[in-house]
Chains A and B, each alone.
Chain A
Amino acid sequence: MTLFSIIGAGVAGLAVASELVSRGVKVQVFDPGGSPGAHGCSWWAGGMLAPWCEYENAEEPVLRLGQQAIDWWADRTPVKRCGTLVVASGRDLPDLRRFARRTEGFDKVERAKIAELEPDLAAYGKGLFFPEEAHLDPRKALQDLYRGLQEQGVDFHKKLAPAQLKNAIDCRGLHAREILHDLRGVKGEMLVVRCPDVSLTRPVRLLHPRMPLYIVPRGDGVYMLGATMIESEESSRITARSMLELLSAAYALNPAFGEAEVLEIGVDLRPAFPDNLPRIRRLGHTIYANGLFRHGYLLAPALARGVADLALENTHSEMVDEDRA
């Protein structure tokens, strides 16, 4: 039986491993970083499964392929299906109208309904509610995949993959750019706060022309605030301006965030191709799966299925853009 070697244990690598294993294939995983952690950019993600909202600024495949993600993840890790609420302050209502024009799958909600959904946002008079959307805890999701794979007998090697591996699937994100020359990094900064004074049950997006914010509840009064998107490839510097903007936006959403405890700040680079859509490429003995951009959890299931289809059935899904096997 063929043994597939997956290189990289971020969300892409683990999702591909999980998909292959679910199709009865034997796999092993190489990652010098070991188990999921801060070395991978998917560690810093929001974990929103929000294809309808993301369509506002993304190409059509994100909307269509992203819808597969919710059920795929729900088979593997806890997924909260309670929608997304999008709000804007009075003077940014043009942005809310634009968001509505550019998306689908929402209900327009007014003050009473907003207060019913999220009592702590009762100050907002207009919003959009996307009832089908969901979210997960990305770190728990990575750990659940990791443990699940281990339980199913997958070997994890805490080292670099040997050269000249047969049947290799390279999911190294930005580390693969020496091969994938059109890959670039897009900087993202985030923070995690504890704020028991605010109670939100679902991801909330606050629209703003310059500082859009999303907040994802992690439970127990902990919230992830994200995320900047900067065309820069520095992976280690968190700027005061970015923190200022994210926290100002959170404070504007509900002033109680002013008393939040900052638990963590993070920064990393999202691997992206020029159209910000993921790609699968087969070059020689290796399949490259990369470019999940800001849609790691949203598009990893579709990417994993595409890789499995190519590797096992030689079927070319739409993400395959090159096949020089």
Chain B
Amino acid sequence: MRTFYGTDLPNPLMLGTAQYPSPAILEQAFRESGAGVATVSLRREGAGGAGQTFWQMISDLNVLILPNTAGCHTVKEAVTTAHMAREVFGTDWIKLELIGHTDSLQPDVFQLVEAARILTDDGFQVFPYTTDDLIVGERLLEAGCEVLMPWGAPIGSGRGLNNEYALRAMRAEFPDTPLVVDAGIGLPSHAAHAMELGYDAVLLNTAVARAGEPATMARAMKLAIEAGQLAHQADPIEARDMAEASTPVIGKAFLT
């Protein structure tokens, strides 16, 4: 099994902590999802440690914490936020998010590589939110990243895996690197799809937090991810164009 900077994930779901109707519902969703990792945003809540109460609630979930740099648009902002996150949560893990486009929230991959290099040199263990571009992936690994997190679709769009071909290519290109589909998941079937492709984990937030019943959706995601993971391990059949009967047809009696 591929490890995340030497850590085995308790299970392959990373769940975000934003946008829930209340902290109580967030906690229920985590319980139902069995998620092993919680992502937490610091940028907006951060100043002067004013988000302490909420962060304490996240810490009390007893899952691994993956702070993120959500909302950062420049290398400088992202690096500052990462340092703050390390101080607040006492972890070297950082989900590096550098937004390049206002409407699609597409990552700015050029700044992403630069920030990844700076943070790795500072001792961070960087989880970069990236596109499905292979060359960018390579550059991120060269910069010191040991995990890649390509998007399935734009953040919060719930569109599922927009480009299955590219995600397959990425899996094939980086067989030893832990890969996480991050963003774009709307339905459990999307999450299962990512796991069927051989991805190591799925990171999602809006699909659960903004569902009418977050805790119920969290459980659905958990089941789907487990199903997708099992399916991948089971070596699924290849799709083909023509029917292949599961029982022989020769020698059967004809009924007229």
Candidate in B22, B46, B48, B51 with the most chain A CB atoms within 10 angstroms? B22
Contact B47 A230 (CB under 8 A): no
When C-beta atoms are compared, the residue in chain B nearest to A229 turns out to be: B19
CA distance A230 to B52 in the complex (A): 12
Task: Write the B40-69 contact mask toward A (1 if CB under 8 angstroms, else 0).
Answer: 000011111011111001000000000000
Q: Is B144 an interface residue (CB 8 A)?
A: no
Which residues of B lie under 8 Å from residue A231 when comparing CB positions? Answer: 45, 51, 53-54
Task: Write the A82-108 contact mask toward B (1 if CB under 8 angstroms, else 0).
Answer: 000000000000000010011000000
Contact B22 A232 (CB under 8 A): no
Assess A241 versus B54: contact at CB under 8 Å? Given A57-B21, A102-B212, A209-B156.
no
Closest CB in chain A relative to B74 CB, distance in Å = 14
Contact A233 B51 (CB under 8 A): yes
Which residues of B lie under 8 Å from residue A210 when comparing CB positions? Answer: 156
Q: Is A185 an interface residue (CB 8 A)?
A: yes
Q: Is B25 an interface residue (CB 8 A)?
A: yes
Task: Write the A269-285 contact mask toward B (1 if CB under 8 angstroms, else 0).
Answer: 00010111100000000
Contacts of B7-30 to chain A: CB distance below 8 A = 21-25, 27
Q: Is A180 an interface residue (CB 8 A)?
A: no
Contact A237 B47 (CB under 8 A): yes
The interface size of chain A toward B, counting residues with CB under 8 Å, comes to: 24
CA distance A185 to B52 in the complex (A): 10
Closest CB in chain B relative to A190 CB, distance in Å = 16
Which residues of B lie under 8 Å from residue A59 when comparing CB positions? Answer: 21-22
Contact A232 B27 (CB under 8 A): no
Closest CB in chain B relative to A232 CB, distance in Å = 4
Contacts of A37-60 to chain B: CB distance below 8 A = 57-59
Neighbour of A184 across the interface among B21, B48, B54, CB < 8 A: B54
Contact B51 A232 (CB under 8 A): yes
Neighbour of A274 across the interface among B27, B45, B47, B48, CB < 8 A: B27
Q: How large is the interface on B (under 10, 10 to 19, 20 to 34, 35 or more residues)?
A: 20 to 34
Contact A101 B212 (CB under 8 A): yes
Contact B52 A58 (CB under 8 A): no
Contact B45 A275 (CB under 8 A): no
Which residues of B lie under 8 Å from residue A309 when comparing CB positions? Answer: none
Contact B47 A275 (CB under 8 A): no
Contact A58 B212 (CB under 8 A): no
Which residues of B lie under 8 Å from residue A233 when comparing CB positions? Answer: 50-53
Which residues of B lie under 8 Å from residue A272 when comparing CB positions? Answer: 22
Which residues of A lie under 8 Å from residue B47 when comparing CB positions? Answer: 232, 234, 237
Neighbour of B50 across the interface among A98, A101, A232, A276, CB < 8 A: A232
CA distance A231 to B55 in the complex (A): 9
CA distance A218 to B141 in the complex (A): 56
Closest CB in chain A relative to B190 CB, distance in Å = 16
Contact B45 A232 (CB under 8 A): yes
When C-beta atoms are compared, the residue in chain B nearest to A56 turns out to be: B21
Neighbour of A276 across the interface among B22, B46, B52, CB < 8 A: B22
11 A-B pairs besides A102-B212, A272-B22, A276-B22 with CB distance below 8 A are: A58-B21, A59-B21, A230-B44, A230-B45, A232-B45, A232-B50, A233-B52, A234-B50, A274-B23, A274-B57, A275-B25
Q: Which 7 residue pairs are nearest across A and B when measured between Cβ atoms?
A: A234-B50, A231-B54, A275-B24, A276-B22, A274-B24, A232-B45, A232-B50
B residues near A (Cβ < 8 Å) are: 21-25, 27, 44-48, 50-54, 57, 156, 210, 212
- 10 A-B residue contacts at CB 8 Å? A58-B21, A59-B22, A101-B212, A209-B156, A230-B44, A231-B54, A232-B54, A274-B27, A275-B24, A276-B22
A residues near B (Cβ < 8 Å) are: 57-59, 98, 101-102, 184-185, 187, 209-210, 230-234, 237, 239, 241, 272, 274-277
